[in-house]
Amino acid sequence: MTKKEELAQVATKLTACAEAMMELAKALSAEPDAEAEEPSVQVPETTYSFIEVRQAAADASRRGYRADVKALLTKYGLERLSELKEADYAAFMKDLEEIGNG
Q: What is the pLDDT of residues 78-95, one digit of tens each?
A: 999 999 999 999 999 999
Distances (CA, A) of 23 to 20, 28, 29, 100: 5, 9, 10, 52
Residue 45 lies in a domain: no
Q: What is the CA 57 to chain-centroid distance, rounded?
A: 24
The ranges of the chain with pLDDT < 50 are none
Does residue 57 fall inside a structural domain?
yes
For residue 58, being part of any structural domain is answered with yes
Q: Are residues 20 and 58 in the same domain?
A: no
Q: To 10 degrees, what angle do helices 50-60 and 66-75 make?
A: 140
Q: Are residues 32 and 57 in the same domain?
A: no
Residue 44 lies in a domain: no
In-domain check, residue 65 = yes
Q: Is residue 43 in some structural domain? A: no
User: Residue 42: inside a domain, yes or no?
Assistant: no
In terms of residue numbers, what domain contains 57?
50-98
pTM, whole model, 2 decimals? 0.56
